[in-house]
Amino acid sequence: VKLIWKGLGTKRVGLPMMMDDDYFFDEEDALTSIYPDNLDESFDIGGLSRVTKDQFRRGCDPQGIRWDQINITRSTYRNQRLLQYENYENLDDSARPRPHSSLKAEIDSHVTNRGHSFYEFENSEKQARANIVHFQLRNLVWATTSHDVFVTQAEDIQHFSYVTNKLTPILSRFEDSKEKISLDALHMSTMCVQGSICVAGGFFGDLVCVKLPSDIHSDDFTRASSPDTGKVLFSEKITSDENAITNSILLQESKQGALEAVITNNDSQIRILDVDNSFREVNRMHFPWPVNFATLSPDRNLVCVLGDSTECMLMDVTTSRRVAVCDMHLDYSFAAAWHPDGNIFATGNQDKTARIWDRRMMRCLATLGGRLGAIRSLRFTEDGRYMAMAEPADFVHIFDVKVRSSLVSSSDRLSQRRATLRTYRRSTSSERSLESASVPKMTPCLSVFLIACTEP
């Protein structure tokens, strides 16, 4: 996944202008920069453009890199990356409630069994590369089916089909239509796709929404305004604030079944817009810090909000009042996800951890540590069995959420803890006095090696 930088100011609070090589770089560029003398001039460092399941089973590298033609192994290079990578953090220990070193004990207290395989490699496709304009914002890849993937590329959103092996532009087909949109001014920072609706947000408060064409593979861009080839539903600025980067967009159904867009911006606000009703504003909430991500609970009663703060807030959607505050992270947060049962949610932070919370007790059930950097993305599967946790580079962790009904006291041995993300049994008062609680047993699999990981 290629990283680019367009020379735009970050507009993040307290951040200077920065270039792509300050933090993340492409795997190919990394190999060249770390070991330039070990490369044959005739060797194509890009390797294979696509790796299939059969090639992988025969020993081909999952990213198509020809390690046999480089004087370094994958494991050696991985160790170099782990040693050299510097995780970006906004806060130092002087600005934190406790030192970063205190996290190790919390992570170690929740035992995880490593090395399980929860999936099989299918293929990798370099044609579907996502461009990262802002290094902290990674909601740039969406899969709507098992074979339809949408990625941001330059100033457009591209659809890639694993059935046809074809890359199709989405937004650019509307530039010359009657419902014209200006991609040059958009500078995409985030996007979301659900069903036939595609929404993109930009650096300067711009929001664009299009209905996808019924024939997504069509090459005829001249008919973009006809009903069966998609249309522009919305294209306006939603904020005029100077610090207006659109940080995240999620498309979620309301209690009444209407499709709503939950949008967060650096102007310290959340906007919930009714997509089905000309993007009418349903709700707006203000916060004391720039909001990086927000997601509605499955019952749509609460919204989990996090941003340029160590705090994570749960807000009542109807009253816009604060229900609870979770404040155990040590830096700024950029990711959150709800378990389908609605009782458990996860938050991801630049302190290199994800935390699992039970909203009924407002208690942290587990602290999961990354290997390289900040936790930029989190997702539960629809059945709640697995959770994916993506770092900014190289690693995506998959956790198996075991469902158990037994209650374990906090005084039991840590290695014997068992629990569930789905049930919590309230028993006698004596058990509650021991702060008895269910704790999720998470089992991470072998990590996937990706550069600049976006949505898992």
For residues 240 and 220, the model is more confident at 240
**Predicted pLDDT at 230:** 76
Counted residue by residue, the chain has a size of 456
For the whole model, what pTM was predicted?
Answer: 0.78
Across the range 317-336, mean pLDDT stands at: 96
Distance CA 101, CA 328 (A): 14
Ramachandran category for residue 115: left, alpha or beta (phi over 0 → left; psi -120 to 50 → alpha): left
Look at strands 197-202 and 188-194 and give their pairing.
Answer: antiparallel
Q: Residue 251: what are its φ and ψ, rounded to 5°?
A: -100, 115
Determine if residue 262 is left, alpha or beta; phi over 0 gives left, psi from -120 to 50 gives alpha, anything else beta.
beta
- pLDDT over 50 at 404, yes or no: no
What is the model's pLDDT at position 297? 97
Least confident of 14-28, 81-95, 323-337: 14-28
Cβ-based neighbour number of residue 406 at 10 Å: 11
Torsion over CA: 89, 92, 98, 100 (sign): positive
Q: What is the 3-state secondary structure (H, E, C) of 263-288?
A: EEECCCEEEEEEHHHCCEEEEEEECC
Burial class (CB in 10 A: 0-12, 13-18, 19+), 78: middle
The reported pLDDT for the residue numbered 217 is 53
Each residue of 243-253: pLDDT tens digit?
889 999 999 99
Q: What are the tens digits of pLDDT across the range 387-397?
A: 999 999 999 99
What span, in angstroms and rounded, lies between the C-alpha atoms of 211 and 209?
A: 7
Task: Quickly count: other Cβ atoms within 10 Å of residue 351's Cβ.
Answer: 25
Give the mean model confidence (pLDDT) for residues 81-99.
89
Say which residue, 356 or 122, is predicted with more confidence.
Answer: 356
Burial of 99 (0-12, 13-18, 19+ CB in 10 A): exposed
By C-alpha distance, which of 433, 284, 456 is closest to 387? 456
> Does position 339 have pLDDT exceeding 90, yes or no?
yes
pLDDT exceeds 90 at position 155: no
User: What CA–CA distance (Å, rounded) separates 348 from 355?
Assistant: 7
Q: What is the average per-residue pLDDT within 416-438?
A: 29
Residue 143 token pair: 């899969």
Residue range 4-25, pLDDT digits in tens: 333 333 344 433 333 333 333 3
Q: Are 396 and 419 in contact (CB under 8 A)?
A: no
**Average per-residue pLDDT in the chain?**
77
176 or 222, higher pLDDT: 176
Rounded to whole angstroms, what are the CA distances from 78 to 20, 60, 111, 198, 326? 20, 17, 24, 36, 34
Tokens of 392: 């900014």
Structure tokens at 65: 């890199």
Question: 330: pLDDT confidence band, cut at 50, 70 and 90?
Answer: very high
Residue 84 has pLDDT above 80, yes or no: yes
Quickly tell me which residue has 């959150």 as its tokens.
336
Structure tokens at 52: 């299939």
Q: Is the pLDDT of residue 408 over 50?
A: no
